[in-house]
């Protein structure tokens, strides 16, 4: 079942090592079929160089394996919560990309410091609060999803306008209109995290860009009158 989605999710997973966003078996990509509400996700702990499309695991929104012989990603519960709470997304990526993880471990947002950021994220990429001991012990992956959703609700951030988050002490999750779109957001996040880290070294007092410039660059690509590229 969902052979086309399996192929797309497999190809998206293989982009993670290609773009140096993961090492060994770190990270995972999933995609959802919104008609059946079935999720296709990477199997847990399989090295990318051994991964095959037919190994992708199909789970339902309760986390039950619907098809597949391998265990689904250990982060499946996080993906499920995000699909439930962010209804417009159809792909999710988790990585351990070094510059985004640096901000996550420092407990810092990636601020909107320039147009490179603004082209994709309509404001800072938020970091979640640190999780409490009982949350970590009880069900870390589910709690990770809950704290991501809590962050966006409390800070009134639209997940469609900022398709990324930094899980405190852990790393980034991104999402998008497809698994491949979510990978694109992971690559951009890593690039802007690296640029912004160095910007902060040079001049921490000039880090936040003006709202009018943020609007200009985000809306030219994502607004209702978007004109970037070959849009007619």
Ligand X SMILES: O=C(CO)[C@@H](O)[C@H](O)COP(=O)(O)O
Which residues are part of the catalytic machinery? 119, 228
Residue of 27, 111, 126, 172 that binds ligand X (CB under 6 A)? 27
> Which of these segments, 72-80, 115-123, 158-166, 221-229, binds ligand X (CB under 6 A)?
72-80
For residue 68, give both structure tokens.
Answer: 């597949």
CB of 185 to ligand X, least distance (A): 17
CB of 126 to ligand X, least distance (A): 18
Query: How many CB atoms are located within 10 Å of the residue 105 CB?
Result: 14
> Which of these segments, 8-16, 69-77, 80-88, 128-136, binds ligand X (CB under 6 A)?
69-77
CB of 217 to ligand X, least distance (A): 31
Which residue lies nearer to ligand X by CB, 42 or 217? 42
Residue 181 binds to ligand X (criterion: CB under 6 A): no
> Which of these segments, 38-46, 56-64, 110-118, 183-191, binds ligand X (CB under 6 A)?
38-46
For residue 165, give both structure tokens.
Answer: 């988050």
Which one, of 82, 58, 62, 98, lies nearest residue 186 by Cα? 98
Query: How many CB atoms are located within 10 Å of the residue 152 CB?
Result: 18
Residue 144 binds to ligand X (criterion: CB under 6 A): no
Quick one: three-class SS letters along 191-232?
A: HHHHHHHHHHHHCHHHCCCCHHHHHHHHHHHHCCCCCCCCCC
Which one, of 77, 65, 106, 73, lies nearest residue 196 by Cα? 106
Angle between helices 3-18 and 179-202 (to 10 degrees): 20
Residue of 17, 19, 26, 102 that binds ligand X (CB under 6 A)? 26
| CB 167, CB 101: distance < 8 Å | no
CB of 22 to ligand X, least distance (A): 7
| CB 117, CB 110: distance < 8 Å | yes
Which residue lies nearer to ligand X by CB, 51 or 195? 51
Interface residues with ligand X (CB under 6 A) are 25-28, 42, 44-45, 73-75, 94
């Amino acid at each position: 079942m969902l052979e086309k989605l399996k192929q797309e999710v497999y190809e998206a997973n293989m982009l993670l090592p290609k773009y140096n966003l993961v090492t060994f078996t770190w990270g995972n990509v999933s995609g959802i079929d919104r008609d059946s509400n079935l999720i296709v996700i990477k199997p847990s702990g399989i090295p990318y160089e051994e991964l095959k499309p037919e190994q992708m695991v199909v789970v339902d929104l309760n986390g039950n394996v619907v098809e597949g012989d391998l265990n689904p990603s250990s982060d499946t519960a996080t993906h499920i919560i995000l699909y439930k709470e962010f209804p417009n997304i159809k792909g999710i990526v988790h990585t351990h990309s070094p510059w985004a993880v640096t901000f996550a471990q420092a407990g810092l947002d990636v601020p909107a410091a320039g147009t490179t950021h603004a082209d994709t994220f309509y404001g800072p990429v938020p970091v979640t609060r640190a999780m409490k001991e009982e949350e970590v012990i009880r069900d870390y992956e589910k709690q990770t999803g809950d704290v991501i959703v809590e962050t966006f609700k409390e800070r009134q951030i639209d997940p469609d306008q900022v398709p990324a988050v930094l899980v405190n002490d852990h790393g980034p999750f991104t999402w998008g209109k497809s698994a491949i779109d979510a990978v694109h957001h992971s690559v951009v996040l890593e690039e802007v995290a690296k640029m912004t880290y160095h910007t902060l070294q040079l001049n921490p007092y000039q880090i936040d860009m003006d709202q009018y410039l943020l609007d200009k660059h985000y809306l030219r690509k994502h607004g209702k009158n978007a004109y970037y590229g070959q849009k007619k």
